[in-house]
Amino acid sequence: MEKSVHLDHLTLGVCYYPEHWEERLWQDDLRRMKESGIEWVRIGEFAWSKIEPREGEFTFDFFDRFLDLCEKEGIRVIFGTPTCTPPAWLTEKYPETLNARQDGVLYRHGLRQHHNYTSETYLRFCDRIVTQMAMHYGRHPAIIGWQIDNELNCEINEYYSDSDHKAFRAYLKEQFGTLENLNEKMGTVFWNQTYTDWEEIFLSRPVTTHGYNPHMKLMEKRFFSHVVSRYCERQCEILRQYIPQEVFITTNGVFDHLDSHGMTQRCLSFMTYDDYPNFAFDEGTHPEKPGAMNDRGNSWSLTRCRSISPNFGIMEQQSGPGGWVSRMRQPAPKPGQMRLWAWQSIAHGADFVSFFRWRTATMGTEIYWHGILNYDNEPNRRLREVATLAGETARLSDLPGTRYRARIAMVKDYSNEWDSQLDNWRRQDRISDYGWYEASQVCHAPMDFVYLPEEDSGYTVTLEDLLAYDLLIYPHPSILTKERAALLRQYAEKGGTLILGVRTGYKDEYGRCPMRPMPGYAMDLAGVKVEDFTLLSSADAPETVAWGGERLPAPEFNEVLLPLPGTRAVGFFCGNYYDGRPALTERRVGKGTVYYYGAAFSRETAAQFLKKLGMDETFRRWVSAPWDVEVAVRGETLFLLNYKAEPKKVVLHRAMTDRLTGEERCGAAEIPPYGVMILKKEGEDQ
C-alpha cells in the first residue's frame, strides 16, 4: 500500500514547545503564526512530565488548555508521543529501562534517547502514557496527526542493556531455530566461537583489537532495526484504537539501523523527514567545499525519504543558525536560503513543511539551535521569509500528490547498507553512492532510490516498479540473493538498462563468502567472471579505464573481468599490472543491457555513464542549466534551484509560465542568489 501524505494544499507548520513558555505567550504566538501563513504546530514529543508528573499520576489540563486555544485560533496540531525523553522518576526507579554502552555502563538521565527498546518495564510505561494520551486527547478536533516518539535512532542507534542481550537471543532463536544452525550460519567455528547454550550469546561486547564476528554483527544491526520498529508499531497500535481513522500517524526520520521502509509499511501513514541542510556548513563536521554539493547534498536524504513515501512531509525544516552548547556551530541561513531549502524539500516530494522551531529556546543545550524567532521575540527577516514562502505555496495548490519525475534509480537495500558499514573492505559503497548521486545532480538527471525489501520488511518491489525506470544502478550489491538476481534479469529482459559495479555478489545473506566464482548470482546476468582483483592502496597510482576514447577514474577496488560468451568488453584498465585487461563489460539480456564495471564509481565516471547512455539532461528539451543549479520536476512543475551566493543563468527552450509571478518566460533567464524559479512545464519531457 502506498504510504504518502494526502493533503489538498501545501501546508506550512512549525515545531512548538508550549512547556518552554509562559502561558501568556501562547495566544500571541499562535496568532502570529497564523498571520505568517503557518497552519499547524507539532508539539509534545519531549513533554512526558507535563502529563505524568509522577508515576501513575496523570494530569491533562496543560495540553487541554493548549489544544483548546489552538482550536480557537484555527491552528491544527500534530501531537508527539513523549517516549524519547523518559522522566527522571522513571529511569531512577527502574534503571533496567536504560540503554547501555557496549561495555555495560548505563546511559543516564540528562539528554534524550537514553532508554532501551526491549525492557518490559519501559514498554509498559510507554504503553500506559500513549494509552492515556490517546484516550484523553485522541478525539480533540485540533489534532490532525500524531508523531511517534522523536527521531528514532538519531541520538543513538545501538543498544546493549541486559534486556537487549536477552531479546537478541530470542530474536536469533526465531531466526535460526537451533544452535547448530546458528553456529553454521554465523561461522562460529572460526576462532572457536561455537556456542553450546543460548545463554552464551550476547550482542557485541568489548573484544581485543577491532574484530567482531561480522555475521553476528550484521544480525545485530537487523536486531536493532527489528526492536525499534516493533516499538513504533506498538505505539501505533494503541493510538489506532482511539483516534479517528482520518488522523494520520507518522514519525520523523530517517536514521540508521532501522528499516524505515518496512516500518512505515507496517504501521505509519507516511514518513516525514527532519531537514537540516546547514550541516553542510557546520564548522566542525563538513565545512563548505568548492565544487561540492554542500547544502544541495540534502537532496540525497530527501530522495531517501521519498523512496519510503513518494509524497512525504518535513517535520523539521531548519529555520536559523544551528548549534548545541556542547557541539556543532552553524551560521545563520543567508537571506533567501531558508526559503530555498523549503522549496528543495517540496521539489523532492514534500507536501508539507514544518519549521524547527517557532522561537529559539532560552535555556538548555539547544540555546543556539535557533528557531524562526530569536530570544527577543521580535519580528525578523526569517519570519518574513516564512510569510513570503506561505504566499508562494498558496499559488501551487495543485502540487500535492504530484510525483517527482526520474528516469533513473539507484537500487539499494538495508543488508548491503549495514554490511558495508561494518566491512572495512567495502569503502567503494560510499564512494559510488555519492558518486552516482552527485553525477545525477550535476547532469540534471533526477534520480530515485528503490529499496529492495528485506525478508521481514513486509512490502514488495515488483518488476513493474523497476520498469518505471530506464536505467537502474545497483553499485555494489555484495550480498546478492538468487531471487534478487532473478528480478534484475527480468528487468533487463524487458528492456531495462542495469549497471553493476565491482564486488557484486560475493557474499551470502549473512555476509559470508561462499565458495563459488565471483560475481556469484550476477555471473550469468552480467555474463562475466572475476579473474583477479585488488583494492587500490594509497601507494598505487590512480587507476583509469579507457572506454571509447574517454578515460574514466576507476577508484578504490578493481576487478579484472573475463567476459563470458555473448558479453563484450568495452572498457580496459590502464596503469596497473592488469593494464589492458577488461574493466567494463556490456551484455544484451533480452531487450535490455547489463553493464558490469570493475571499479567504484566516482562522480566523473558516473557522469560519463549518464552521458554515453543518453540519460543526462532529462529535461533538455525544456531547460539548459549550469551544473550548480538543481533541476527537478514534480508532475508538470519544473523547479530550478540556485544554491549559490551569485545569480545563475539558465536558458528556457520553451515558453513556460512562472508559477510564482505569473509571467511568461522563454530564453535566457537569471535565478537570483539562493533563489528559485518554478515554472509550469506542459508537454512531453523528452
Contacting residues toward ligand GAL, per CB under 6 A: 150-151, 154, 274, 316, 356, 366, 369
Q: Least CB distance from residue 35 to ligand GAL, whole Å?
A: 25
Q: Can you spell out the DSSP letters for 216-270? A: HHHHHHHHHHHHHHHHHHHHHHHHHHHS-TTSEEE-EE--SSS-HHHHHHHH-S-
Q: Least CB distance from residue 46 to ligand GAL, whole Å?
A: 7
The residue among 154 and 488 lying less far from ligand GAL, judged by its C-beta, is: 154
b/e burial code for range 653-670 (CB count within 10 A of at least 16 → b): eeebeebbeeeebeeebe
Q: Least CB distance from residue 322 to ligand GAL, whole Å?
A: 7
Q: Least CB distance from residue 6 to ligand GAL, whole Å?
A: 24
Q: Do strands 582-589 and 567-574 pair parallel, antiparallel, or not at all (unpaired)?
A: antiparallel
Give the contacts of 618 (CB within 8 A, at least 6 positions apart): 405, 406, 407, 444, 445, 446, 631, 633, 685, 686
The residue among 249 and 652 lying less far from ligand GAL, judged by its C-beta, is: 249
Place of cell 502506498: 2
Q: Least CB distance from residue 234 to ligand GAL, whole Å?
A: 21
Residue nearest to ligand GAL (CB): 369
The residue among 328 and 589 lying less far from ligand GAL, judged by its C-beta, is: 328
Of the candidates 360, 361, 357, 346, which has an alpha carbon nearest to the alpha carbon of residue 314? 346
Q: Least CB distance from residue 235 to ligand GAL, whole Å?
A: 17
Helical H segments across 36-119, by residue range: 48-51, 61-73, 88-93
Distance CA(279)–CA(5), nearest Å, equals: 26
The residue among 16 and 437 lying less far from ligand GAL, judged by its C-beta, is: 16
Q: Least CB distance from residue 151 to ligand GAL, whole Å?
A: 5
Going by the DSSP 8-state scheme, the letter that residue 542 receives in this structure is P
Angle at the Cα of 390 from the Cα atoms of 387 and 392, rounded to 5 degrees? 115
* Residue 484 in grid coordinates: 534478487
Q: Least CB distance from residue 12 to ligand GAL, whole Å?
A: 18
Q: Least CB distance from residue 82 to ligand GAL, whole Å?
A: 12
The residue among 82 and 582 lying less far from ligand GAL, judged by its C-beta, is: 82
The residue among 356 and 674 lying less far from ligand GAL, judged by its C-beta, is: 356
The residue among 29 and 274 lying less far from ligand GAL, judged by its C-beta, is: 274
Give the CA count within 13 Å in the CB-facing half-sphere of 445. 26
**Residue 506, phi then psi, degrees to nearest 5:** -95, 0
The residue among 250 and 544 lying less far from ligand GAL, judged by its C-beta, is: 250
* Residue 97 in grid coordinates: 529501562
**Phi-psi group of 145: left, alpha or beta (phi > 0 → left; psi -120 to 50 → alpha; rest → beta):** beta
**What are the Cα distances from residue 598, in Å, to 499, 571, 587, 657?**
11, 10, 14, 46
The residue among 113 and 269 lying less far from ligand GAL, judged by its C-beta, is: 113
